[in-house]
Amino acid sequence: MDMEFYILNFIQEHLRNGVLDKLMPIVSFMGKLSLIWIILTAVCLLVKKTRPLGRSLACDMIFNLIACNGIIKTIVGRMRPCVLNTSVNLITSVPIDASFPSGHTLYAFGAATILFIYHKGIGLAAYAFAFLMGFSRMYLYVHFPTDVLFGAIFGVVFAVLAYRIEGWLFEKDKPIFRLKRCQPQDRA
């Protein structure tokens, strides 16, 4: 944890400035209650052409809600850095749930991964936003770096799984995972 506080304190001492003090709360607010992702999902579900994307996003959000918000945060119960170190001047309110993993980062990377699968260009822009979201959580001193890192990892993993399940449910000839069958000549 010393290294994590070192990183957070480095951000506070060397990167904190008036412009980012105004920008980072806005970026973080965009992920609050996952409203941006809920709205994106709803819009995609309403438009026939983007309905598979919307279903993948919805499936991903359900995974994130159950696995991370419902199970992992409850089991790990990690306290937030701003609770453990009260000497930092916060520019945001202290979240009431557990710190690990970062939900903002989780949902942002999940959505970015699904957007990347469906449209590379939009997905790359979404990944840039997801990185900014993760950084904002550390900048605001409400998440440890490992909270953000694992939020990103879980976000990507759950998104790929959600995409596969959406395909399996709605495209009957598409298996969840493609496994290479072992041919007799492959055995040695």
pTM, entire model? 0.88
Asked, for residue 146, whether it belongs to a domain, the answer is yes
The rounded mean pLDDT for the chain is 90
Give the tens place of pLDDT for each residue, 62-74: 999 999 989 999 9
Question: pLDDT class for 179, splitting at 50, 70, 90?
Answer: very low
**Residue 154's CATH number:** 1.10.606.20
Asked, for residue 122, whether it belongs to a domain, the answer is yes
The answer to whether the CB of 139 falls within 8 A of the CB of 146 is: no
Range of the domain at 55: 2-172
Asked, for residue 63, whether it belongs to a domain, the answer is yes
Asked, for residue 186, whether it belongs to a domain, the answer is no
**pLDDT higher for 85 or 33?**
85
Percentage of residues in the chain with pLDDT exceeding 90? 80
pLDDT at 182 over 90: no
Asked, for residue 112, whether it belongs to a domain, the answer is yes
**pLDDT higher for 174 or 134?**
134
How many domains in the chain? 1
Q: What is the DSSP string of the chain?
A: -HHHHHHHHHIIIII--HHHHHHHHHHHHHTGGGHHHHHHHHHHHHSGGGHHHHHHHHHHHHHIIIIIIIIIHHHH-PPPHHHH-TTS--SSPPPSS--SS-HHHHHHHHHHHHHHHH-HHHHHHHHHHHHHHHHHHHHTTSS-HHHHHHHHHHHHHHHHHHHHHHHHHHSTTS-SS--PPPPGGG--
Asked, for residue 39, whether it belongs to a domain, the answer is yes
| For range 169-177, the mean pLDDT | 61
| For range 95-119, the mean pLDDT | 95
Residue 180 confidence (pLDDT): 46
Asked, for residue 44, whether it belongs to a domain, the answer is yes
Percentage of residues in the chain with pLDDT exceeding 70? 91
Asked, for residue 26, whether it belongs to a domain, the answer is yes
